[in-house]
Amino acid sequence: MHRMTVRSVRVHVPLGEVVLMLEADGLDMVLPVTIGPREGAAIASVLAGIVPPRPLTHDLLLDLLRAAGAEVVRVEIVALRAGVFYAEIVLDDGARVDARTSDAVAVALRAGVPVLCDPDVLESAGELDTGEPDEDDAGSGATVGGLGGTGASGTPGEGSGPAPRAARESELAQFRAFLESVEPEDFEDTES
């Protein structure tokens, strides 16, 4: 298994897709994963150090696991089938929980645990790391991504296929509006 680092969450501008960029530690390879804008926001908020005043979905999942006496020890990207990535969240008792890659990465970032990738997955879907952002991307750290399945760009994703263009554009517009309006103070705890 190759250890992966989250490089960024980017918008593929011409297609309006959100792409999670994972970098293989010690290799000149990146693994682009098309994800949804909500998952992109969940990952980007951790990368930006934003702490919400109330638990978000991935925080809640971790809280539930901890309340049940379980801890997440790592996340593994285990397969790529028909253009869809498969991941597993591995618990301290050895249990493995099937998850979308974006959700697994969001949990891993919050739990502070490693993300690992099967060598066969990296070989089949990884790309040579040129060190340069793709010219179609909004750039490193931009938050949003593709919706499901193999995206229109051909990047493998997480669902059964791309959403209709109008739905993608609407969801992307809402997400961009959210990003433009959000301030760090919005996440401050106002409850005593």
pLDDT at 180: 76
Of 14, 6, 73, 3, nearest in space to 40 by CA: 6
Q: How many CB atoms lie within 10 A of CB 128?
A: 9
Is the pLDDT higher at 178 or at 138?
178
pLDDT tens digits for 112-132?
999 999 999 999 999 988 775
pLDDT at 140: 38
pLDDT tens digits for 82-121?
999 999 999 999 999 999 999 999 999 999 999 999 999 9
Rg (CA), the chain: 16
Domains and CATH numbers, the chain: 2-187 (3.10.690.10)
Q: Does residue 8 register a pLDDT over 50?
A: yes
State how far the Cα of 15 lies from the Cα of 180, in Å rounded to an integer.
20
pLDDT at 186: 64
Q: How many CB atoms lie within 10 A of CB 21?
A: 22
pLDDT at 151: 47
Ordered DSSP codes for 33-57: EEE-HHHHHHHHHHHTT---SS--H
Of 25, 16, 18, 184, nearest in space to 6 by CA: 25
State how far the Cα of 81 lies from the Cα of 159, in Å rounded to an integer.
11
pLDDT at 181: 78
State how far the Cα of 77 lies from the Cα of 57, in Å rounded to an integer.
20
**Band of residue 160 on the pLDDT scale cut at 50, 70, 90:** very low
Token digits of residue 23? 């970098």
Whether the model pTM is above 0.85: no
